[in-house]
Structure 1
Amino acid sequence: MDYEKSDEKDLITLNNDMIRASYKLSVNEIRLILIAIAQMPKGEKDKESVPLDPMKPYYITKADFIRLGVEPNNVAREIRSACSDLLDRKIFIDTPIGVLGTHWVHNILHFKTDIFEELKRKYPNSKYDDDFIRQLRKHNLLDSLPMIAKSDDNIMARIIFHADIIPYISELRQHFTQLKLDEMAGFSSFYSFRIYIMMMQWRDTGFVISTLAAFREMLDLTDKYDAVKDLRKRVLDVAIDEINEKSLYTASYSLTDKNGKSGKGFKLTHLKIKFKPKAKIIKSKAKGKTERDANTADMFTVDGLNDKQLGRIARNPAFMAEYNHLVSPTSLAGQSQQGWELEMVNRLKKDASQFSKRPIREYLEY
């Protein structure tokens, strides 16, 4: 997609390892986090080219939540709900040197908007609003939230991300996925957000393949919905139906064994999600109104090779031997041939410079 500069404030950029990370949030918590991420500098595209200070605060307002489909009368309650448990939430990211377990945020507050505006006028140059926060505590506003809960006063949230999270959501140069905040407007299920973001990582292929074990771990379902019928009913059906209804894509899924077969007698171990843009989006592309984002894989070709040829290269034993260090054995790419091929084709098209051990076409000659 072509993300205009005027819309960059709504752009979400996530490291692909973070997309596959294991975590569970409430729907309000993931709304809050995505809204904050959309406010972050976008690297070279953003005027703020200096490294991001990890102590920078981000503010989420009533209008932000309404844009994501929250009923205006419920916004104060939804923001309070988003803040209530987020400080304790953890995320587990698979890295080349092991699994990183960390918290999402360093701290989080919520308070009345009118007091916020008053104190910001009083302390316009306060670094990271330290004076402002001290005044909130002095006024005992942070402890008066139950009183706010009983009123219809507008409130807002203030969060500072944990320093461990910053490298996965800021100033990314490779192996990342971008999408617009408004693409997820109206989602009411945490699983819809997670599956849609996972789809967007592979938007150039039109499908996602994962083992059920990896999918369960990603959504923190290792001890929940053990029966496949429950996983279908409580997670997959809910998310896919909502994505079809409220997003720019239509999607479907299938559960199969490791060889892609399903039916009575087959052990279902893999999930495949197929998706494509809705007709009106395809039509607008034909009219030249929508173009591919320069950061998505299908914008590029590698030495004139098509996807089928790149797939052959990724499956080449010599290629696999020379570049298997690029993925973790526990990642999706390290668990199946299909996962490896998808990941490598995507990487080749995004940044072929990392595959420099020999001319890329040599792998077609084996």
Structure 2
Amino acid sequence: MDNSNKLTVVKSNAIIDAGYYLSIYENRILLTCISQINSMGEIGLNDVFTVSAQDLIGLIGLDDKNTYKQLKKAVDRLYERSVTIDLPNNEILKVRWVSSIKYIKQAGTVELKFSQDMIPYILQIRREFTQYRLKNVLMFKSNYSIRVYELLVKWSGDHKTVTVEWLKKQFQLETKYTRIGDLKKYVLDIAIKEINQYSDMNVQYSQIKQGRNVIAFKFKYGLKHPQPKKSKHNFNDHIHGISRAEIEKNARVGESYSEAAARLAKLKNTH
């Protein structure tokens, strides 16, 4: 079973900007759950997200008899993980990803529920979100590859400069890799190599110095196969008789403006 071409991950940018650490296996499980969310839908406290060992084998391309055991261990760790989110007025929110997990060994699945305080950030994808195909990250072996890839997708343009301090805070590495050489070797170099090898993006980075000290990194990036440029429309323009505002409100994950407009116009014509 290979649904990775169809599954789209949509994450609130508040979460992507937050500081957190997840192992590669925990990240795969979380991304599989998030990919099941319709960005135009609602999430309730009782909504259950199911991850099966068999699905992970198919998505990641593995054939491992111990996959369910690895899945269970990873879910156990995910249950203890939290996210640190910067709020206005210098307030900080620390919230767990999930509130409960249920093991169904006979079916080889686990069921998860997002925590109450996490749900608003998941729902925030209606207004402000980053989306990408699940297949672009499932082959990564490093959890930092996923985090760097998410940031690249979120950033606009084709380059971005971030400070070393900011980057380490995002990855919760404030007390690790005090030597820049180690940070590059164990975090950035691996992430860049995997992104270039497995994903739909090409990326390179350079370091910015102040005197002899490296204070920032500059990333240059772009799609391997750039999509054709779409015609620009003013906010009040209409496509197939549907306003841009209505399209953005009702579009489905992965739809282009034209596809969403055509679908909505067809719905109007049937009523």
Residue among 2, 7, 15 paired with 1:18: 15
State whether structure 2 residue 25 is matched by structure 1 residue 28: yes
- Report the residue type matching 2:186 in the other structure: R
Q: Is the 8 A contact 1:67 1:182 kept in 2?
A: no
Q: Which residue pairs with 1:206 in the alignment? A: 158
Alignment of 1:1-366 (within 5 A): 10-43=7-40, 49=41, 51-69=42-60, 71-73=62-64, 74-97=66-89, 98-114=91-107, 155-170=108-123, 172-202=125-155, 204-257=156-209, 265-278=211-224, 281-282=225-226, 285-286=227-228
Deviations 1:151-188 (A, max 9, x none): xxxx2111101111112223623232111212213111
- More helix as a share of residues: 1
Deviations 1:205-261 (A, max 9, x none): 122321111110110100111100000000000110010110111111112137xxx
Q: Is the 8 A contact 1:22 1:217 kept in 2?
A: yes
Two-structure CA RMSD over aligned residues (Å): 2.6
Q: Is the 8 A contact 2:161 2:218 kept in 1?
A: yes
Counterparts in 2 of 1:300 and 1:232: CA distance versus 1, 3 Å? farther
- Report the residue type matching 2:27 in the other structure: I
Q: State the alpha-carbon separation in 1 of the partners of residues 134 and 234 from structure 2.
A: 28
Q: How much has 1:7 moved relative to structure 2?
A: 8.9
Q: How much has 1:70 moved relative to structure 2?
A: 5.0
Q: State the alpha-carbon separation in 2 of the partners of residues 276 and 9 from structure 1.
A: 22
Q: How much has 1:277 moved relative to structure 2?
A: 1.4
Q: Is the 8 A contact 1:54 1:163 kept in 2?
A: yes
Deviations 1:259-278 (A, max 9, x none): xxxxxx43211122111111
Q: Is the 8 A contact 1:68 1:184 kept in 2?
A: no
Q: How much has 1:18 moved relative to structure 2?
A: 0.9
Q: State the alpha-carbon separation in 1 of the partners of residues 98 and 6 from structure 2.
A: 21
Structure 2, unmatched stretches of 5+, are 237-271
For the residue of structure 1 that corresponds to 2:196, the secondary structure is: helix
Counterparts in 2 of 1:7 and 1:68: CA distance versus 1, 3 Å? closer
Structure 1, unmatched stretches of 5+, are 1-5, 44-48, 115-154, 259-264, 293-297, 304-366
Q: Is the 8 A contact 1:28 1:81 kept in 2?
A: no
Q: State the alpha-carbon separation in 1 of the partners of residues 30 and 49 from structure 2.
A: 10
Task: Return the TM-score normalized by structure 2.
Answer: 0.77
Identity %: 29
For the residue of structure 2 that corresponds to 1:24, the secondary structure is: coil
Q: Is the 8 A contact 1:87 1:107 kept in 2?
A: yes
Q: Is the 8 A contact 1:69 1:187 kept in 2?
A: no
The total of aligned residue pairs comes to 232
For the residue of structure 2 that corresponds to 1:198, the secondary structure is: helix
**Stretch of structure 1 that moved more, 175-184 or 23-32:** 175-184
Deviations 1:330-352 (A, max 9, x none): xxxxxxxxxxxxxxxxxxxxxxx
Q: Which residue pairs with 1:142 in the alignment? A: none
Q: How much has 1:60 moved relative to structure 2?
A: 0.5
Task: Return the TM-score normalized by structure 1.
Answer: 0.58
Q: State the alpha-carbon separation in 1 of the partners of residues 114 and 26 from structure 2.
A: 13
Larger Rg: 1
Q: State the alpha-carbon separation in 1 of the partners of residues 88 and 127 from structure 2.
A: 15
For the residue of structure 1 that corresponds to 2:27, the secondary structure is: helix
Q: Is the 8 A contact 1:243 1:249 kept in 2?
A: yes
Question: 4+ runs of 1 displaced by more than 3 Å?
Answer: 6-9, 298-303
Q: Which residue pairs with 1:130 in the alignment? A: none
